[in-house]
Amino acid sequence: MIKVLVVEDSAVVRELLVHILSSDPGIRIVGTANDGESAIDAAQRLRPDVITMDIHMPKMDGLEATRRIMEVHPVPIVIVSGSSDPDDVAMTFRATEAGAVAFLRKPPGIGHPEHEITARELTQTVGLMSEIKVVRRWPQMRRETAAARPPEIIPIRTPVKVGVVALGASTGGPPALQTILAGLPGDFPAPVLIVQHMASGFVHGFAEWLGQSSALPVRLAAHGETILPGHVYIAPDEFQMKVERGGKITLSKDAPESSLRPSVSYLFRSLVESYGGEAVAILLTGMGRDGAEELKLLRDRGAVTIAQDKESSVVHGMPGEAIKLDAATLILAPDKIAAVLAGLANNPAGLANNRDKKENQ
């Protein structure tokens, strides 16, 4: 049985979450809390396997409660948010920095057309997250001190022409992507494309949150636009994203792949056709195997391919599957991935190739 602590300040929503989770025979609700302070106390007393966490609560919000719990009694925390306000969504992503492993929208009430789908997503996510081994987090002050260190740069020894960098991620991806983008210089010589699996409605706030710590402009991709060096493009909700020859983005309603839209596999295949060996493709933490086979195709074409290492991954599914296929030329933690990419800024071949492209547009 998976022991779950439900943290939610609204009595109506709390009752709904308890009802949904209790309907799964493999889940047992061991307690509830209506504010952050009570959540910390309950986490220590009840020792749940998973906590569902609201963001806006009295006395102490969900962000601070997540930080405290991950410092004193680490446990997988799933943020369940009911607001699409950009500030609230940004707080959700800050909770992932603090150690939350997943985030979902609050399911609508019984009778709503989307109730069954969102309820199933909640129970499935709680079940999957219960298997994750989380680690104790450093207190906030110590983390900020460590983050203040200047970024490392690992120079690329062999001249590499890089037309594009593409990253795919799922569970645990937001903080990994934040680390990587924060380590890139403002004159980074290639466009950066991202597919991040996430619940619908969060992607706009996700782009804003990433942009706050990146020297590069970050935005949602638009159909038909030409990708530019030093810009970051994120696949929007419910669209497959690919890059055509000439560097134009195509967004489509093509069928989901392995129930995923956007899909990392879909993006990576387009790189095989459009860029071949002049690409860097990176597969980060996440469940399943989305992108693994396509990463191998890119490596076979001569592209630089990177998989996140097991130690730094929340879930080593996607990068682990790629490693099994011998699809990765490098296996690294996010800070080291950033250092390798930052080294591309000092690569004369890659830099010249993309600067010429930018000047001609």
Active site residues: 170, 197, 290
φ, ψ at 321 (rounded to 5°) = -65, -40
Whole-number Å distance between alpha carbons of 356 and 163: 11
Reference 265, options 211, 210, 325, 224; nearest CA is: 325
Reference 322, options 242, 278, 264, 279; nearest CA is: 264
Locate all alpha helices (DSSP H) within 103-223, ordered by sequence: 115-129, 140-147, 173-182, 203-212
String of DSSP letters for 286-323: -SS-TTHHHHHHHHHTT-EEEEE-TTT-S--HHHHHHH
Beta strands in the chain (DSSP E): 2-7, 27-33, 50-53, 77-81, 102-105, 164-169, 192-196, 218-220, 232-234, 240-244, 248-252, 279-283, 304-308, 330-332
With 0-12 / 13-18 / 19 or more C-beta atoms within 10 angstroms meaning exposed / middle / buried, residue 147 is exposed
Tell me which H or E stretch contains 148.
none
Reference 205, options 60, 94, 80, 335; nearest CA is: 94
Residue 52 near residue 8, CB atoms below 8 Å: yes
For residue 99, the tally of other CB atoms under 10 A from its CB is: 21
- Enter the tokens of residue 225: 């636009």
- Enter the tokens of residue 186: 């403002």
